[in-house]
């Protein structure tokens, strides 16, 4: 321990100017020395709120203690043991753990997510997961995003043969839309390489509702089916003109920006308006800034900046890169004849609170104004696409945009079919794990066996040699 240092070891990052033109990663890894220095700020709390706050209960205190002792190989091993998508999460996780880190009360929380990256960069991370003895009950998973992948990991570790059916030709789901300045694009492959010895088969280009249904998978001999299709169908604005060429939903735009050099809008002199105030809107706007030569990108949001659902880091960084914000305005009409020529906005006032207590918004008559633009990107949320899914499953989303089984164990109204999802990568993984536990309990009961806790994913009983006197988190969640 290096005494109390309340201020975080700065995370190296690119200066703002180059960011407007390129998709190079913004945050850079700590050096080994910086990582050790930062880890030594940790108080090694007996009751680690950081671990409690992590949706997958990653033993972050453990890997931080190991880094503090310069034991990077052990830190990498501990990280990978708890976390099937550690390489993805060390760059994209919204670090819920840091919100509850006790150092945050006095100064800056420990850089828990960035230290995960240091563990993987400097420790030996090319490890392979080890399966338990094989079982004869096959499980099908529909959807290869983080929910489905975490479930595949959990179930295959317990010995179940798993097949993941995915509509796209690639895995990752919405992870593939995260801009390259956050995630280079090779991280998921790095994580999936550790699955090599698990009995998981990925089948791409197969869409549930078209090529098969959950019930047809049961009829094909799968003993359980997990629907993990997320929510990717764009919500419409519901205003005239939104079908004009030049109006794009955010997700296909971001996917194209990642998969092709120019994205959907082309590297032209575009004037872009992005509608929405969440992280997806900010990702779309910051990507558009990099793709458009005019650098003329405006975010339109119906509430005040403080009420934006996007993280304040994301908003601040976007502003620094040159995004403009038009706030407390809502779009009422997209202008144009053959393509977008502008968008009409109207002022929005705060109305009475809704059922959840959040103030509603009301349009103010006589306040219309026109913003000239040739591209509109719509980022006002997504819903699950359940076309072709039998109604008996009763999967229509209620509290979440993704489909979820209505029973407490997330089983649907059809026996053996489960469904779940999550609001971020780590929450999606937690949902996948919880569903896998429920599926294991269901199948074990059918086979007359006891359900099994997750075996040590790396084999052995205590895979990483832990710091002296370390007993793991001192309570169970
Ligand atoms: C632009 C963007 C940026 C984001 N940035 C972050 C971030 O930085 N950090 C973070 O933690 N979270 C981020 N998120 C949120 C996170 O990616 C999602 O919460 C998470 O991916 C949800 O996981 P999921 O597996 O439930 O769904 P998805 O990721 O949507 O995966 C569902 C999968 O199912 C497939 N599928 C859908 N329908 C069918 C069908 N009928 N048949 C077969 N397959 C089907 C889809 O193709 C997809 O691969 C971001 C999301 C977006 C859109
Ligand atoms: S996975 Fe996310 S919430 Fe969990 S310890 Fe890592 S950064 Fe924190
Ligand atoms: S809460 Fe913060 S200081 Fe305490 S163990 Fe976790 S990271 Fe370290």
Distance 49 CA to ligand 3 centre (A): 7
| Residue 307: DSSP 8-state | G
pLDDT in tens, 311-323: 888 999 999 899 9
Nearest 5°: phi and psi at 143?
Answer: 110, 120
Ligand approaching nearest to the C-alpha of 96: 2
The reported pLDDT for the residue numbered 85 is 98
pLDDT at position 468 over 70? no
Distance 424 CA to ligand 1 centre (A): 8
pLDDT at position 232 over 50? yes
The Cβ of residue 108 has, within 10 Å, a number of other Cβ atoms equal to 17
pLDDT in tens, 270-292: 899 999 999 999 999 999 998 88
Interatomic CA distance for residues 260 and 277, integer angstroms: 25
Distance 429 CA to ligand 2 centre (A): 11
The residues lining ligand 2, judged by C-beta closer than 6 Å to any ligand atom, are 54, 56, 58, 60, 89, 93, 95-97, 112-113, 116, 426
Q: pLDDT-derived band of residue 148, with 50, 70 and 90 as boundaries?
A: very high
Q: What is the mean pLDDT of the chain?
A: 92
Helix, strand, coil percentages in the chain from 3-state DSSP, rounded to 5: 30, 15, 50
The first and second tokens of residue 75, run together, are 């830190």
Q: Is the CB of 423 under 6 A from ligand 1?
A: yes
Query: Whole-model pTM?
Result: 0.94
The length of the chain in residues reads 477
Pairing of strands 296-301, 271-275: parallel
The reported pLDDT for the residue numbered 264 is 62
The first and second tokens of residue 448, run together, are 């007359």
3-state secondary structure of 380: coil
The reported pLDDT for the residue numbered 313 is 86
The reported pLDDT for the residue numbered 263 is 60
């Amino acid at each position: 321990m290096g005494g109390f240092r309340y201020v975080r070891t700065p995370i190296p990052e690119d200066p703002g100017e180059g960011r407007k033109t390129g998709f190079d990663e913004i945050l850079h890894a700590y050096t080994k020395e910086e990582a050790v220095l930062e880890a030594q700020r940790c108080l090694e709390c007996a009751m680690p709120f950081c671990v409690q706050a992590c949706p997958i209960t990653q033993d972050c205190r453990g890997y931080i203690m190991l880094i503090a002792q310069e034991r990077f190989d052990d830190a990498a091993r501990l990280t990978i043991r708890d976390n099937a998508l550690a390489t993805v999460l060390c760059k994209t996780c919204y670090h819920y753990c840091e919100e509850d880190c006790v150092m945050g009360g006095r100064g800056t929380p420990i850089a828990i997510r960035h230290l995960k990256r240091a563990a993987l960069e400097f420790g030996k991370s090319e490890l392979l997961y080890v399966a338990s003895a094989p079982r004869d009950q096959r499980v099908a998973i529909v959807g290869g995003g983080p929910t489905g992948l975490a479930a595949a990991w959990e179930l295959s570790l317990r010995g179940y043969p798993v097949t993941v059916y995915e509509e796209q030709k690639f895995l990752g789901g919405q992870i593939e839309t995260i801009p390259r300045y956050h995630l280079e694009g090779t991280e998921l492959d790095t994580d999936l390489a550790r699955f090599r010895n698990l009995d998981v088969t990925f089948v791409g280009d197969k869409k549930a509702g078209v090529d098969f249904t959950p019930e047809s998978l049961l009829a094909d001999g799968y003993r359980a089916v997990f629907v993990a299709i997320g929510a990717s169908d764009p919500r419409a604005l519901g205003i005239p003109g939104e079908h004009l060429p030049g109006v794009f939903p955010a997700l296909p735009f971001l996917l194209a920006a990642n998969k092709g050099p120019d994205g959907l809008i082309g590297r032209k002199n575009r004037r872009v308006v992005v509608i929405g105030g969440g992280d997806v809107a900010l990702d779309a706007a910051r990507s558009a800034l990099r793709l458009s030569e005019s650098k003329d990108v405006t975010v339109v949001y119906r509430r005040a900046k403080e009420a934006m659902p996007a993280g304040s880091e994301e908003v601040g960084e976007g502003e620094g890169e040159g995004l403009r914000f038009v706030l407390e305005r809502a779009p009422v009409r997209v202008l144009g004849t053959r393509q977008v020529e502008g968008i009409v906005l109207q002022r929005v006032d705060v109305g009475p609170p809704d059922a959840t207590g959040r103030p509603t918004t009301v349009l103010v008559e006589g306040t219309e104004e026109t913003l000239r633009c040739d591209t509109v990107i719509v980022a006002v949320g997504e819903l699950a696409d359940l076309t072709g899914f039998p109604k008996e499953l009763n999967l229509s989303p209620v509290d979440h945009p993704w489909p979820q089984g209505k029973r407490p164990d997330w089983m649907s109204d059809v026996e053996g079919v489960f469904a779940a999802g999550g609001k971020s990568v780590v929450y999606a993984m937690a949902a996948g794990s919880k569903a896998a536990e429920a599926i294991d309990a269901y199948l074990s009961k059918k086979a007359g066996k006891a359900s099994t806790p997750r075996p040590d994913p790396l084999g052995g009983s205590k895979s990483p040699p832990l710091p002296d006197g370390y007993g793991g988190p001192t309570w169970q969640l």
